Structure 1
Amino acid sequence: MTDTPFVTPAWLAAHLDAPGLVVVDGSYYLSTMGRDAEAEFREGHIPGAIRFDIDAVRDEGSDLPHMLPTPEVFAARVGEMGIGDGMQIVVYDGAGLFSAPRVWWTFETFGASDVSILEGGFPAWKAAGLPVEEGPARPRAKRSFTPRVDHSAVADLADVRRALETGSAQVVDARPADRFAGRAPEPRPGVRSGHMPGAYNVPFAEIVQDGRLADADTIRAALDRAGVDPSRPVITSCGSGVSAAILSLAFEKIGRPARSLYDGSWAEWGTRDDCPVETDDR
């Protein structure tokens, strides 16, 4: 198996008006990127697309960034967006491939049955000379979304601790190497630098090329360099659960789906005094 849920810009352009299809702009950027996802959407988006903001559709009772909301909240919010049962969902982002996998993973975790990612994202759409729409999203009729949560797809702090202590799963961190090693500061204030003892590092930039997921051989090579055995269970992690989904997508591509994604990721682990942190001083 080497399959991933991508559709090409040409395919999407040909099916843009198909009944039951909804295009979702899932753009999100770190503060260090200096980009405004909402402003960029208003300046130009795929015609008919809606905005899915992971900082808005989240667990508002948590002080961690964009944690998954409850099933009831998720169902209500996406239903208001016009996304309902049985619809075909195509997600993209403005970076090419950064936050769209997080939105893909979110919909799949809540039980959506047909979720795809636009290959190359909005940059590829524009490069193909396809139409762009300005302004806010068009209102869509409210739909009913029935959440069917795959709890096994989400790892919490206890799951990660258990995996690290027992070796029951490999924790693979998608953050850049300097942040993983503790040589570069975290972008969020109050978060320690370094990594979980026993975690592996596969920076997401090593498996994303020109806004697209790298081929299977490149992914396998990156895992091999990091010492990750794709035949063993994996929990993906990162700074706040966004680029971890790129790793999850990569494991799907090589036919070795990750066991789960650590939703709290380093934003949780790196702020807790009871969670050990290692750094690489070399």
Structure 2
Amino acid sequence: MKNILSVKEAYQLSKNDNVIILDASQDGNKVGMTPNNPGKYIDGARVFDIKNDFSDTTSSLPNMFCNEEQFNHNAQKLGIKKNHKILIYDNLGIFTAPRAWWMFKTMGHKDVAVINGGIDEWIKEGLPTSSTPFTDFEKGDFKGIKQYQNIISSSKIEESLGQNQYQVIDARGKGRFDGTVKEPREGMRSGHIPGAYNLPFKDLLENGNYKSLETRKEIINNLELPENIPLVFSCGSGITACVDLLGAADILNNEMKVYDGSWTEWGASDYPLE
């Protein structure tokens, strides 16, 4: 299964019994995006609540990946099974769905894809929707194994500065990356991790959809990324880092990691910055 599916491809797949659809939409964000179709769901979609069910709610940082036991428990509560093909979308076109996609990949689940354009594109195509999520399901048997190599800590990044062990890619907007725009969270310093490259996540999108593979390839190739070291994707709080990661997944062969703490952690610390 491809990582990114058109709504038509997703709709055809959804007719199969072993396919489920997850709505990964979240209330509020720090980039000023608002949904065009609030309260609308793809017909049959189940709610995948990143913030409350699939994040470490004991952490002072937002959206930190929960432990393996919590992920599996809440995935089973959603009726997700080991053999399910999982299609994920959100109500901002492309925003939180890539984070949910990456989480399932990090739990070792291979059959997972993002629906390009989300609910807005689904509605444009006249495909069936509902005003309520689907909740009539039995407990699933999902059991993933967390791939810890997909996540990197601030200390690992700090230790590696200047050693070319990783290449950090920051998905925040250029103003925030350059430090010319104030951070939306209180107490945050402005700037970026030393040596990081900037790839604003919106550069990979057009009208709420990922741009074509060819266009994304051109944008990413212009960064002149090193081929032989892992890439570390970062952003404000670990969400849009995954937009960049998914947008690059079919283009680059580098090992890819997410810095979960992202600028919410780094910007409030005494780690060096540029």
Q: Same fold by TM (over 0.5)? A: yes
Moved more, 206-215 or 87-96: 206-215
- In 2, the alpha carbon distance for the partners of 1:69 and 1:233 equals 23
C-alpha contact (below 8 Å) 1:162/1:168 kept by paired residues: no
Match of 2:241 in 1: 244
- In 2, the alpha carbon distance for the partners of 1:243 and 1:146 equals 26
Aligned length: 272
What letter is aligned with 2:17? P
Q: 1:54 aligns with which of 43, 50, 59?
A: 50
Match of 1:187 in 2: 184
- In 2, the alpha carbon distance for the partners of 1:35 and 1:209 equals 16
Deviation of 1:31 after TM superposition, in Å, equals 4.4
The TM-score normalised by the length of structure 1 is 0.89
Deviation of 1:4 after TM superposition, in Å, equals 4.7
Q: Deviations over 1:93-133 (max 9, x none)?
A: 11111111110000110121210111221111000011110
- Aligned residue for 1:66, secondary structure, equals coil
The TM-score normalised by the length of structure 2 is 0.91
C-alpha contact (below 8 Å) 1:101/1:245 kept by paired residues: yes
- In 2, the alpha carbon distance for the partners of 1:82 and 1:150 equals 22
Deviation of 1:32 after TM superposition, in Å, equals 4.8
Deviation of 1:10 after TM superposition, in Å, equals 1.7
Structure 1 gap segments, 5+ residues each: none
CA root-mean-square deviation: 2.1
Q: 2:14 aligns with which of 13, 16, 23?
A: 16
- Aligned residue for 2:129, secondary structure, equals coil
C-alpha contact (below 8 Å) 1:248/1:258 kept by paired residues: no
- In 1, the alpha carbon distance for the partners of 2:116 and 2:90 equals 10
Q: 1:115 aligns with which of 91, 112, 123?
A: 112
Give the 4+ runs in structure 1 shifted more than 6 A.
Answer: none
Deviation of 1:17 after TM superposition, in Å, equals 3.7
Q: Deviations over 1:132-160 (max 9, x none)?
A: 10124323211122121111111111222
What letter is aligned with 1:81? L
Moved more, 189-198 or 61-70: 189-198
Matches within 5 A, 1:184-263: 184-230=181-227, 232-263=229-260
Deviation of 1:188 after TM superposition, in Å, equals 1.8
- Aligned residue for 2:161, secondary structure, equals helix
- In 2, the alpha carbon distance for the partners of 1:89 and 1:22 equals 5
- In 2, the alpha carbon distance for the partners of 1:232 and 1:91 equals 29
Change (3 A) 1:167 1:95: same
- In 1, the alpha carbon distance for the partners of 2:193 and 2:10 equals 40
Q: 1:86 aligns with which of 58, 83, 88?
A: 83
Moved more, 172-181 or 205-214: 205-214
Deviation of 1:200 after TM superposition, in Å, equals 0.9
What letter is aligned with 1:26? A
What letter is aligned with 1:33? G
